[in-house]
Structure 1
C-alpha cells in the first residue's frame, strides 16, 4: 500500500483537536512543552536531564491504554490548571515511576490540579515514588498529589525513603477501594493559602473500604487536619481499614486526629498496629490520637497521644483523648494518653473514651450513643494509660447491653488526673476489671467509680490509690494476692478475699458481705468496715491490728469452712448469727486475757447453731464458753485449771476473812 505523502500527514495531524497529544512511546531528554499520551503497552520516559512542562488546562501525560508505563527521572510540570498525569478511561496495569533508588531529585508538580488522577472505577495502577510529587493547589480547589479515589481495581502507592507526596491546602493522598499505601518517606498536607478543614488530610480514604496503610520506620504521614481519615458512607454500609505504623514511624494530625474515621455503628471496623507514634492536636477543635466512630482492634507498643483540644468557652468542655472508640479490643504495652496545652482551662486530657457518637437531637441530645460492641482493654506490663487532667479510661454514653473488660497486668499503670475524675469511670454497662498493676487516682482521691451495671473488680496484686466504688448492689470485689490498701471501698454486694496477704487500713462503707475464702485479711485500725456488712468465714484468716477493745462490728457471722481470727487483743461484735456449717471449726488467737473474743446481739443460749459454733470454737488454744449479759451473748475461753485453783483459793480466803470478822 502506498504511504501517504508528507502533505497528507500534515493535514491529518492538523485535523486533531488542539492540545491533544498523539499516543506513542516517548523519551524526553531535554526540555519539552508538548503534552504526551500513552496507549496500550507504551512507555513514556523523562531522563534525568529531561523536563516536560505543559501550561493551560491540558494534561501533561494522558494515559488511554492498558499496560502503560511512565518513568520520570527529571521533571514533569503542569504550570496551569491541568493535571500532571491522568487516566479517564479505566486503564489497567498502569505503572508510574517517579525517580529511582539512586535518584531522589525527580519531580512531578501541578500548579493547580492533581499531580496524578485515576478517574475511572475499573482502573488498576501502581505508583512508585522516590522523588517529590507536589500539588501546589494555587486556587485552593482541593487538588491532591495522588488521587485514586475513583479506582475499584488494584491500586498501590509506594512512597520510598526520601520520597515526598505533598499537597498544599488539600488531601495529599486519596487511595481507592482496597488500596494499599506503603510509606517510608513523607506524605504531607500543608496549609499555605487556605485554612484547615476536612479536606487537608495526609491520607484520606474517603468512603473507600479495605484500605491498608503501612507506615514504615522512616515514614511520616502528616495532615494539616487529620493524619489519616475516611469512614462509612452511611449507617448501612460496611467499612474496614488497616493501619500499621512501624517503630520510628510517625502519623500526626496538626489540627485534628492522628487517625480519624467518621462512622455510624459497629459496621465500621478498624485495625491499628502501632509501634511508632500517633498524635493528634486540636488547635481550633478537638484532636485525638485515634478517633474511630466504630469498632477497633488496636495493638500499641509505641505512643498514641492527643496533645491538646479546643472549644470556645460557650461551647462547653473540650476533650483531648488518646483514643476514642465505640468498642472492640485495645492491647497496650506502650503509652496512651490525653494531654492539654499549658494555660488551656477549657479542655481536659483523657486517656481512653469508650462510647458511640454524640447524640445531636432528641431527648438525649448532648449525650453519647452507647457502645457498638463489647470493649476489651488490656494494659500489659510496661503499658501506661493516662489522663493528664481527666480519667485514664471512661465508659460513656447510654446503656448498650455490651460488656466492658479492663485487664491491668502486673507492671502496667492506669493513671487518672484532675481534681474530681476517677482513674477509671464506668457507666450503666456491665464492667469487669482485673488488676495486678497500678491504678492511680491520687489526684482526685478516686481510683475506680463504676456505674449501675453488674460489675466485678478482681485484684491479684499491685497498688490502688484512691477509692473503689462498685456502683451498686450487684457488684463484687475479689482480692486474691498481696494487696495493701488505705482507701475506701463502697457499693459492693460482696467483698471476697480469696488468697494472699491483704490489708485494709482505710474506712470502707460497703454494706455487702465480707467473705474470707483464703489468705489473710488484716483490718488495721478500729471499725475499718461497715457494721452493716455480714462476715462470712469460708476459710482463711481475719486479723485485727491497732483496733482497740471492740475492734470491728459486723451485721452477722456465718461459718462455712475452717477459719481463724487473730484478734490482736481486740474483739468482734455481731448483730446476728448466720449459717453455721456442721464440722467447720473456728480458731481465735491473741484474745485479751479474761475478755470475750466475740459477742452476738441477743440471747443465743438455746440456739442450736450457736451451740454448735461454740463447740467448734477454740480461743487461745482453749475451749469456748458463753454467757448472756442481758444484751449480748459473749463467747470467751474456758478458764484454765490453774485459773480455777486461783479462783477457789480466793473464794476460800474471802470465807476465812468473813468468819474472823464474825468472831470479833
Structure 2
C-alpha cells in the first residue's frame, strides 16, 4: 500500500500488477441494482463485466467498519440523488481500487451527489484510481468526485496515468486534514453555473500535500488548487509540487489560490511544469497566496488574463501575488492580458498583504506579513506585459524586500508608466548583475520611502533608477576588475552613489544630490554636466574620466580626497563649490588637461587655506606640479610652468648629455 508522503513509492506501485483480495462480502459479475454494505475486514468486488447501478437516494456501497476494501473493475453508478460510496462512522484503513494497471475503463459515476464521501473525523482511506470517477452534479449542488473534507486520519489519493477524477460545477477533490494527493492522471472540474468548481479544494484543512507528476493535470473551472486559513489565529500549511510536464490550471481563476489573513498561512510550492490562471470574470493569477509562501520555479508560472467591469478600476493579471516569503526563479514568471482587454494590466509579481475591503483604506492592500526575498537566477525571466515586473504594495510593514537579479537573468516591465521594479514604504535591497528593463516607461527602478540600497554588479539597466523618498538611499556599482557597466539613464534620489570596481560609464543626465564616491575602478562621465552640481565628489581611489564634456566639463558641490586617485579631463575641466576633506599623503593626478587652462577651480579664494595648500602639494597635472591663482571669483588650479632659469638649466643639461655622448662615440 502506498505511504502517504511518498510520490516515489506511488510511481513504483504503478508498475505492479493489480491484485484483488480473494475474500469478498460481495462479487458482482453481471448486473445488479441492489445497494451493498461492507463491514469489518470485508471486500467487495465488481468485475470487469459487472455493473452495480443504484437509483433513488440510496448509497451504492456503504462502509460501516474498519479494514474494508472495495475493488471496482467494471461500473458502479448512482443514477439518482445518492452517493456511490459513503462512510458515516469514521472507519479506518479503508481501501478503494477503481480499475487496475491494465484496466482504465473502470467507472464510478454519480448523477447528483458526491461519488465518494467520507463524512466522519478519524477516518482514514486510500483511493487508487486507474479509471474514471465522475460527478455529473445535475442540480449544481456542489457534488464532488472525492469528498474527504471531514476526514482527519491518513488520507491518500493516488490518481494514476490514464486516471480521471472529474466534477461538473463542483470541486473535484477535497482531500481532508493532512491529505495527500499523488496525481499522474487528470483532475478536472468544468464550470457551467457555479464559481465553486476547483480542481482541488483543501477547504480549511491544513497539512495537505499535492504531488502533480509529469503526466498530471489539475484543472479547475475556477481555481486549479485552492484552500483557506480558517481564521486569523489558526495556522494553515500546504505543499504543492508540480513536476516537469505537469500542469495546474485555473480556467476562470488562479492556478493556485490560497485565501488567508496573515503570516500564519504558509505555502510551499515547487514548480517545474506549468501553473497558470485566467480571469474571465475576475482575477486569474498564476499563484495567489494571501499569506507567506516559499516558491521555487524552474518552469512557467503565468497569468493569462484578469477581468474588471468597466468603471470598477483596473484588474491585475499577476504571475504571483504573495504576502511575503521567498521566490527563487530560474524559469518564467509573467502576467499577461488577453487581446482587446483594456481594463486590466499584466504584472509579474506583487508583494503585498490582503485587499482592504472596507473603511478609509478600502481598495488598497495591507502591508507584508514577513520579509520577502526574490532570487532571479540565470535564465530566469520575471515579466509584466503591461505593468511592472515586480511591485511592492500596501502600507509600510517594517519588513525588508530583497531582490537578487543574477547574471543571465531578466526583469522586464511593460506599459508606458510603470517601473520594472516598483517599491513602497518598506526597506528594499536590490542586487543586480542581470538585465532590468524598464525601457517601455523609461523607469527601471522606482523605490519608496524606506531605507533603500541598489547594488549593480554588471548586466544592463534600461530606464531611470530612483532611490525613493527616503534620506539614506545608496547606489553601489561593483562590476569587478576588468568588467564594464554602461548606463544611459537618469539616477535620482540617492544620498550616495559609489563606484567600487569595474569600468563604469554614465551618459545620462542624473539629478541626485547625494555624494558621488569613486573608490576603485573608473567612472566615465560621457557628456557635459552628467551629474547634478549639488553632488559632492569624493575621490577615494580609481579614475574619473570626462568625455565629450566641452570646456565647462562637470560641476560638483565640493571636492574631497581620501585615496590616491586620478582624473582624465579629456581637454575639459572641473568646478567645485567648496573644498571638503583632504587626507594627508594621498595623491591626485590629472591628465589631458587643456594647455594653458585650469584643471579644476574652487569657488572663492583658497590661497590661504591650509587644506587647499595640502591638496596643491599632492596634485600633478599633465606630469607637472600644480599651482593656483585667484581670478576674483574662483581659485584656479593649473599645471605649474617652469621659470626661465629652470628652462636654461634644462637646456644646458641636455647639451652636456649630448656632448658626452658624442665624445664616447669618437673614442
Report if the CA contact (8 A) 2:452-2:473 is conserved. yes
Distance 1:537 1:550 in 2: 20
Deviation at 1:360, TM superposition (A): 1.4
State the match for 2:335 in structure 1: 338
**Equivalent residue runs for 1:50-69 within 5 Å:** 50-69=50-69
Distance 2:634 2:577 in 1: 9
State the match for 2:478 in structure 1: 480
**Equivalent residue runs for 1:181-330 within 5 Å:** 181-191=181-191, 194-197=192-195, 199-330=196-327
Cα 1:377–1:642 change in 2 (3 A) is farther
Distance 2:646 2:585 in 1: 30
**What SS does the aligned partner of 1:614 have?**
helix
Deviation at 1:639, TM superposition (A): 1.2
State the match for 1:151 in structure 2: 151
Distance 2:645 2:379 in 1: 60
Deviation at 1:643, TM superposition (A): 10
Distance 1:143 1:297 in 2: 32
Report if the CA contact (8 A) 2:24-2:45 is conserved. no
Answering whether residue 498 of structure 2 is matched by residue 501 of structure 1, we say: no
Deviation at 1:361, TM superposition (A): 1.6
Identify which of 551, 554, 558 aligns with 2:553. 551
Deviation at 1:367, TM superposition (A): 1.1
Cα 1:455–1:569 change in 2 (3 A) is same
Report if the CA contact (8 A) 1:24-1:38 is conserved. no
Distance 1:623 1:196 in 2: 86
**What SS does the aligned partner of 1:149 have?**
coil
Distance 1:330 1:433 in 2: 14
Residues 90-116 of structure 1, C-alpha deviations (whole Å, 9 max, x = no match): 000000000001100000001111110
Distance 1:594 1:499 in 2: 33
**What SS does the aligned partner of 1:613 have?**
helix
Distance 1:347 1:208 in 2: 33
**What SS does the aligned partner of 1:603 have?**
coil
**What SS does the aligned partner of 2:109 have?**
strand
**What SS does the aligned partner of 2:613 have?**
helix
State the match for 1:9 in structure 2: none
Report if the CA contact (8 A) 1:282-1:309 is conserved. yes
Residues 35-93 of structure 1, C-alpha deviations (whole Å, 9 max, x = no match): 11111100001111111111111100000110000000001001111100010000000
Report if the CA contact (8 A) 1:24-1:39 is conserved. no
Report if the CA contact (8 A) 1:24-1:37 is conserved. no
Distance 2:204 2:472 in 1: 43
State the match for 2:440 in structure 1: 443
State the match for 1:462 in structure 2: 459
**Which protein is bigger by CA-based radius of gyration?**
1
State the match for 2:664 in structure 1: none
**What SS does the aligned partner of 2:616 have?**
helix
Answering whether residue 581 of structure 2 is matched by residue 579 of structure 1, we say: yes
Distance 1:215 1:510 in 2: 50
Report if the CA contact (8 A) 1:293-1:325 is conserved. yes
Distance 1:444 1:90 in 2: 60
Residues 396-447 of structure 1, C-alpha deviations (whole Å, 9 max, x = no match): 0000000000000000000000000000000000000000000000000000
Distance 2:460 2:257 in 1: 35
Deviation at 1:196, TM superposition (A): 4.0
Report if the CA contact (8 A) 1:320-1:347 is conserved. yes
Distance 2:642 2:244 in 1: 74
Identify which of 619, 626, 640 aligns with 1:617. 619
**What SS does the aligned partner of 1:161 have?**
coil
State the match for 1:25 in structure 2: 25
Identify which of 503, 512, 515 aligns with 1:513. 515
Deviation beyond 2 Å, 4+ runs, structure 1: 640-646
Deviation at 1:644, TM superposition (A): 6.7
**What SS does the aligned partner of 1:315 have?**
coil
Report if the CA contact (8 A) 1:212-1:241 is conserved. yes
State the match for 2:174 in structure 1: 174
Residues 107-149 of structure 1, C-alpha deviations (whole Å, 9 max, x = no match): 0001111110000001000000000000001111100000000
Residues 515-542 of structure 1, C-alpha deviations (whole Å, 9 max, x = no match): 0010000000000000000000011110
Distance 2:363 2:111 in 1: 44
State the match for 1:44 in structure 2: 44
Deviation at 1:363, TM superposition (A): 2.1
Report if the CA contact (8 A) 2:140-2:194 is conserved. no
Residues 533-583 of structure 1, C-alpha deviations (whole Å, 9 max, x = no match): 000001111000011112100000000111110111111000000001111
**Equivalent residue runs for 1:16-165 within 5 Å:** 25-165=25-165
Cα 1:417–1:92 change in 2 (3 A) is same
Residues 296-348 of structure 1, C-alpha deviations (whole Å, 9 max, x = no match): 00000000000000011121110000000000000000000000011100000
Q: Aligned-residue CA RMSD in angstroms?
A: 1.4
**What SS does the aligned partner of 1:314 have?**
coil
State the match for 2:597 in structure 1: 595
Identify which of 378, 383, 397 aligns with 1:400. 397
State the match for 2:639 in structure 1: 637
Distance 1:312 1:417 in 2: 22
Deviation at 1:645, TM superposition (A): 4.7
The TM-score normalised by the length of structure 2 is: 0.92
Q: Matched residue pairs, number?
A: 623
State the match for 2:9 in structure 1: none
Deviation at 1:642, TM superposition (A): 7.3
The TM-score normalised by the length of structure 1 is: 0.93
Report if the CA contact (8 A) 1:168-1:189 is conserved. yes
Residues 150-202 of structure 1, C-alpha deviations (whole Å, 9 max, x = no match): 000000000000000000110000001000000000001112xx4241x2000
Deviation at 1:364, TM superposition (A): 1.5
Distance 1:529 1:571 in 2: 14
Residues 494-516 of structure 1, C-alpha deviations (whole Å, 9 max, x = no match): 00000000000000000000000
Cα 1:460–1:643 change in 2 (3 A) is farther
Distance 1:200 1:296 in 2: 24
**What SS does the aligned partner of 2:139 have?**
coil
Deviation at 1:640, TM superposition (A): 4.0
Distance 1:100 1:642 in 2: 108
Distance 2:193 2:93 in 1: 37
Cα 1:390–1:643 change in 2 (3 A) is farther
Report if the CA contact (8 A) 1:46-1:71 is conserved. yes
Distance 2:137 2:343 in 1: 35
